[in-house]
Structure 1
Amino acid sequence: MRLSAPIYKLKRQAKLLARERGIRLHEALHQIAIKEGFKGWSHLASSYSKATPATEIMSQHNSGDMVLIGARPGHGKTLLGLELAALAGKNSRKGHVFSLDYNDADVWDRFEKLGLDPSGHDDPLVVDTSDHICAAHIIGRLANKPDRSFIVVDYLQLLDQRRSNPRLDEQVKSLKKFAIECGAVVVLIAQIDRAFELSPSNMPTIADVRLPNPLDLSLFDKRCFLHEGQIQIDVAA
């Protein structure tokens, strides 16, 4: 059953409802769940955890995969990437988030919005928001424990913003080689060109990925595109 809004927004609605009606939060959560068509909040939460797109994507990945997640701003690509990283521990992988777009507080705030606490695991997820993030930096951070890493990079188009960094295509090839050699999975979050908003299509494709610098997009084994609450998963031929 599809939710009318992301689960963190439903929780926010419940808090407002509890305040407006003077009821306990668990009662408000129950009412929201009933409105969504579930028996109660626990039923909604368990159904969501099984049906989330991140769970579907996680079940399809293979060691050595390079995955691209593309969407226009505000369509959930970063939240999807973070949810994937948080799920890594449940799939015998070590989650790593490298963000050139957000600071540490922003990243952990988004985990909270998703209702996730990846810091509480025995082997907690690693968040790196250094200004020096590039392929070499990522590979260097994982030098001691590279095997079965699950790496999320936010985002693709910022990897070569520093003039001292190698070209974008060189960095993606390096990450691909690293993934194959170490059995890792690398997810790169990508911007979609603004021109897509003027097209009649209801879902971006690989042709809509914004490329300020040349890049062989065939390096990606799987491509996930999001738009207006929908998701499409493509596997490279």
Structure 2
Amino acid sequence: MRLSAPIYRLKRRAKVLSRAERIPLNEALDRVAVAEGFTSWSLLAARASATAPSRALLARLNPGDLVLLGARPGHGKTLMGLELIMEALKLGRRGVFFTLEYSENDVLDRLRSIGGDPAVFGDRFAFDTSDAISAGYIIDRLASAPQGSVAVVDYLQLLDQKRENPELMVQVRALKAFASARGLIIVFISQIDRSYDASARPCPDLKDVRLPNPLDLTLFNKTCFLNDGKVQIEALR
């Protein structure tokens, strides 16, 4: 069965329904799922996961990769990052989600929306919502992570928001060297500049990455850009 919209849009539809009818989000999600022909949201999420672009992306990633995952707000980049971790966990790997954007409840909510249950994976999965997240902090947290582990950082443009943190370029270079030395995959969720015109190109690219502070984008060797359900994956070298 083909979904009437990408899962991120269906989730947005459920949020609107939840607010409009003042019902719990999980009930609204189930209602949306029923309208799509499923008995529950968990079944819909499982079906979506079976064909998720995150599976194709993970298949193209190698230990040591530094990846940029970009999209405009509301186009599913956070869900994609979490789905990527879920796919890695299914293969027996370790996954960590670092976020400077969301609270613990927000992360759990998004995990539920894609059918993820942290309890299933035990200590192979972790997420971190500390305000102290920076390159040094991430390196410390991943010091014992085995090769092939996947870390998602949400998001790139917030890493140097605190003045005491090193410049963004310095942090990304440090994480690139760390990922390469340890055989880890580090994925940065990224904002896209408002100037991006979807009518001109179906997906953004590196030219559209929002950079309030200088950053050499050639530090990344893989990119994944999303827009309106479309996915564009590219190896830069």
Q: TM-score, normalised by structure 1?
A: 0.83
Contact 1:155 1:188 in 2 (8 A): yes
- CA drift at 1:143: 1.7
Could you list the runs of 4 or more consecutive aligned residues of structure 1 that deviate by over 4 angstroms after TM superposition? 10-13, 25-31, 41-47
> What is the aligned partner in structure 1 of residue 26 from structure 2?
none
> What is the aligned partner in structure 1 of residue 120 from structure 2?
120
> What is the aligned partner in structure 1 of residue 96 from structure 2?
96
RMSD of the alignment, in Å?
3.0
Contact 1:86 1:118 in 2 (8 A): no
- CA drift at 1:159: 0.4
> What is the aligned partner in structure 1 of residue 69 from structure 2?
69
Distance 1:118 1:2 in 2: 27
- CA drift at 1:88: 1.7
Letter in 2 for 1:56: A
Q: Does 2:10 correspond to 1:33?
A: no
> What is the aligned partner in structure 2 of residue 37 from structure 1?
none
Distance 1:146 1:32 in 2: 40
> What is the aligned partner in structure 1 of residue 51 from structure 2?
51
Distance 2:42 2:132 in 1: 42
- CA drift at 1:219: 1.2
Aligned residue pairs total: 224
> What is the aligned partner in structure 2 of residue 81 from structure 1?
81
Contact 1:98 1:127 in 2 (8 A): yes
Letter in 1 for 2:89: G
The secondary structure found in structure 2 opposite 1:139 is: helix
> What is the aligned partner in structure 2 of residue 148 from structure 1?
148
* More displaced 10-residue stretch of structure 1: 55-64 or 81-90: 81-90
1:105-116 correspondence runs (5 A): 105-116=105-116
Letter in 2 for 1:72: R
Distance 1:120 1:43 in 2: 17
How many percent of aligned residue pairs carry the same amino acid?
A: 49
- CA drift at 1:6: 3.8
> What is the aligned partner in structure 1 of residue 5 from structure 2?
5
- CA drift at 1:119: 2.9
Distance 1:110 1:44 in 2: 14
- CA drift at 1:200: 2.5
Distance 2:30 2:126 in 1: 32
Q: TM-score, normalised by structure 2?
A: 0.83
Unaligned runs of 5+ in 1: 20-24, 35-40
Contact 1:75 1:226 in 2 (8 A): yes
Letter in 2 for 1:64: G
Distance 2:64 2:128 in 1: 21
| Higher Cα radius of gyration | 1
> What is the aligned partner in structure 2 of residue 38 from structure 1?
none
Contact 1:192 1:210 in 2 (8 A): yes
The secondary structure found in structure 1 opposite 2:59 is: helix
Distance 1:125 1:101 in 2: 19
* More displaced 10-residue stretch of structure 1: 191-200 or 52-61: 191-200
Contact 1:68 1:223 in 2 (8 A): yes
> What is the aligned partner in structure 1 of residue 185 from structure 2?
185
> In the superposition, relative to structure 1, how do residues 143 and 228 fare at CA in structure 2: closer, same or farther (>3 Å)?
same
Letter in 2 for 1:220: F
Distance 1:180 1:189 in 2: 19
The secondary structure found in structure 1 opposite 2:195 is: helix
- CA drift at 1:85: 1.4
Letter in 1 for 2:103: N
